[in-house]
Structure 1
Amino acid sequence: MLSVRSGESLYLPCPNLDCFQDKENSSYVWLKNVSSTMSLVEIGTEEHMRVHYHRSVLYILQLSVEDTGCFITRRFYPDGVCHEFVIDLVVYEEFSPDLLFSTISSVERIVAEIFCPLCQYQEGTFIWYKNFSLISNQESDQVLRVREFSIESEDIYTCVCFWEHDGRKLNSSASLRLVIGEQPLNTPLRIVHPTDNSTVLVDMDTEMGITCSVFAGSTGRKECSVDWLRNKTALDGVDGYIVQQRDDEEFIHSVLLIRKVSQMDLYSVFHCRADYSYEEMFVSVTLKRRDVGASWLTLVWCSVCVVLLILMVSGTMKMFAVDLVLLLRGSFKKRNRKEDGKVYDAYVIYQKNHLEEATEKTISDFVTGALPTVLEKHYNYKLYIPARDDLPGEDCMNLIETKIQLSRRLIFIITTGRGAHEHGSSPEVYDVQVGLHQALVQGDIGVILIQLEDMHNYTHLPLGLQHLLKKSPPLLWRDGGKPGSRFWKLVRYQMPVPSCQRDRVKKTSAGSSCQTEQSPPLMYAII
């Protein structure tokens, strides 16, 4: 049904587009169904008539209410076939909402385009009204563009078409309603990756992909399209290139896949193009061949640096491992430890007889001087040294067994002395036997081996002691040294954590309680 206003004129083509465009092979007859007589009245073709037709177009000049009715177009083909098309026409004396052709709803567009539904197939000039007020500064066009519209843009828009027929100036009008829905957020379009004029390193004759990521906002994704061009030519559908697009919340990602990078690609400029309504944005990307030699050289240098760093770190840790353990042992010494029932931190075993004068003096200076001075006075260890700590009248054999069982470590002092081990019943030989039995058979006591003199071999020593020397080289005494020297650090490293029961005697601060750590397992220092 077509609604029009009286006083205007109507240019009405056949409602069938194919019918209207056929100018040569058909003949036409226009009829009106007169409802009062229930009959069809043929319309004339004379130009001077107010209602007439010319082939497939009906002209009604100066419309009146009496023109309301049903108009029929009959199309006759050369073979005698006839098609009939019907148009219901309603003429209103004044403006009515029923005159509105349609309602246009614009929700997600920045620019609304309103098309005038009249004079589509006839030349004419147009003016536009908003709420029946003339819109100034509008182009004389059949399409009205409402830019940057808001809720205030909602209204009734009317187009008036001016046209001529048989020397007479006529006009037609049509009205439409524009409805503005929820507007999208004004999110600025932004190409996040890649950056403009960027360069991508590639390998020849290989497959590679470039991703273009565009921020379009949650509502702008439907309006935005992203594609790739090479030297300003679109690549979608070009052989050897694949363009894929996917949405990710507020982003659009367009991936350009190059099947095989060629020399031509190196001399081309690739553009990622983002198209959003009437806005376009570009970033350019060029390809550069990767320098294979430089990459291998870089890889070799990096590998060498990593190896050197590992060696440096491992060497440093090995060099300072003892210092680190001693530092942590002193820093994290716990108070009020549960005692293990031991009394002595170490039992010292050394040869006392059948020695040369120089060797005897060396042993005496070390056992009665340096050893107790450093371990007992400086580091609070408790040693049992035979001959120094023996009580008169005690049974030597029982005393040796008891004191060794009450000790946490055995310190063997190794010298070049010969002959003493042949006297198996002597106390100094017995403490060697008991100590080796505890260390090798029962395995419940740690051993520290200290060598006072240079030796070419250890064949003069008991077999058990030789076995221990094969497992762990002895610590070599260098004629003295301060308590903080490397030798004493290694001795302390193999010693247990000193008992803090003796710390209480030296400390005067109240409330300091002590907890002793568990003794470390049997360790042998390597010199």
Structure 2
Amino acid sequence: MMMMMMLQIILLLTESVLVSSYALNSTVQCERPDAKTTRRVRAGESLYLPCPNLQCYEETENRLHVWFRNLSRTKQVEQIGTEGSERVHYHQSALYILWLNLNDTGRYITRWWYAEDECDEFETEVVVYEEFSTDLLYHTMPEQKVSGIYCPVCEYQQGSIVWYKVCLGGCCFLFWQNFALIPNQEFARVLRIPNSSKESEGIYTCVCTWEHHGIKHNSSGSRRLIIKEQTISSPPKFLLPINNSVVFADVGSEVILNCSVFFGLTVCDRCSIRWEKNGIRPSGLNGYEQKYRRMDGTIQSVLTITEVSESDLRSEFACKAEDSVEVIFVSVTLKSRASVFCVILACICTFLVLLLVGGVLKWFALDLVLFLRQIFVKLYRKEDGKLYDAYVIYQKNNLDEMTSKTVSDFVSGSLLTVLESYYGFKLFIHGRDDLPGEDCINLIETEIQLSRRLIIILTPGASTDKSNVSPEAYDLQVGLHQALVQGETGVILIQLGQMQDYTHLPLGLQHLLCKNSPLLWRDGESSPNSRFWKRVRYQMPVASSCQKSSRSRSLKASFQCQGLLV
């Protein structure tokens, strides 16, 4: 027993000698980190204050620790002793302040000698409060879900722990005796909170009871718990700008790029947006300024380029939006306004080309339709039981000599030559294809029913005498009935010469003229490839190949000799 006491005395004497030796060595300048710690404590409790640096606290072998204090009331730095009987003393890397009072408020400095001429200094500010205050809280815990609360004191000490709770919104936490004891939580360094909810909110305080030289001391620490409502986050949605958009600017001018992203109406702590130039934030560079604004779930970022350079025109600007789940971005490029002329010129050229192509297609549309119709209709053509491709109706009587000659030349000449002889259509012409002595009335009805089209030739000054029952008057009545009432036969209207009006024609024929304009034939249009005959062929059915092949070959040579076939 005596030997143990002798050893302790020797160690204390050795430590005091070393402390005096190192403390008086004022020529050594200790390194001091910028970071400082603060401990807020309550009067009447005791404080166990370890060196704030973990290496300083744990490495005590062959190391020396000296504690100093600079109290707020004295403004003087004084060395703290190592006597365990003193209220304020230290042992190696830990400082003891027993039964705290308001005068203990001040700065406490740990000087750690890890070599004879090398040392570090760590500063801790201690603030003593007379009674419990919210300033004593270690930190607030805003959580959506929490499973437990860790006691912030007695981390390096052995002691018993009890837990207290006080509700939020009340003033009862101003008095220590109003804290409610949480049962069955003795010795629990972590207070478990199963199924946390809004009722779990409050201030939780752990009181640690520890012994020093056989005397019990208390240290307490408090945390505030706030349960946040769970929110459903929505992915970021860009309002501005449009992806791959182009902003026109002049070199040397100022440009403002706006970016606006909607993150939803819920609180988003990790939501942010930023502008980047070629993957680098330009806000730290000269000539670039970036500002932010939050409003109603939307974050806006405005990038101002004071002077656009050639490098900006060759760069890609991206606005990136980030939340807790993903990062998305849109791209914007700057282009010189001089390039607008090229864009306009390209648009004009494209418009002219489209206009030219449209004009060509419109001009040759008739030829294309006739060509394709010959291919597809012949492949899928079905027999309809018709004998003639068209029934020709024209007026022979009540015409002047010149008009009568024009009609006769057109019907007997151009019509038969082009449609029948060249293109192989089979026409029925009254007076040519009927036999003498046949019943005209029955013949007309039968032949019109056997025809696929009606070709009605209109002549200037022609009239229809209702008292006249000539074949051309009757076949017109039958043909109009077949076309208008039964709808079985198509009608092709051909007009010879100019006509001022059509009031002299039958009402049925006037109705057809209102629906379809007649094809105007001019004297001299005898070429089979003229536009007039193409329009006639467009309204005619497709001629059978056997008819055309037998007659067209003999006619082509004749038209070529006359210079009518191109």
Band the TM-score falls in, shorter-chain normalisation: 0.3 to 0.5
Structure with the largest fraction of helix = 2
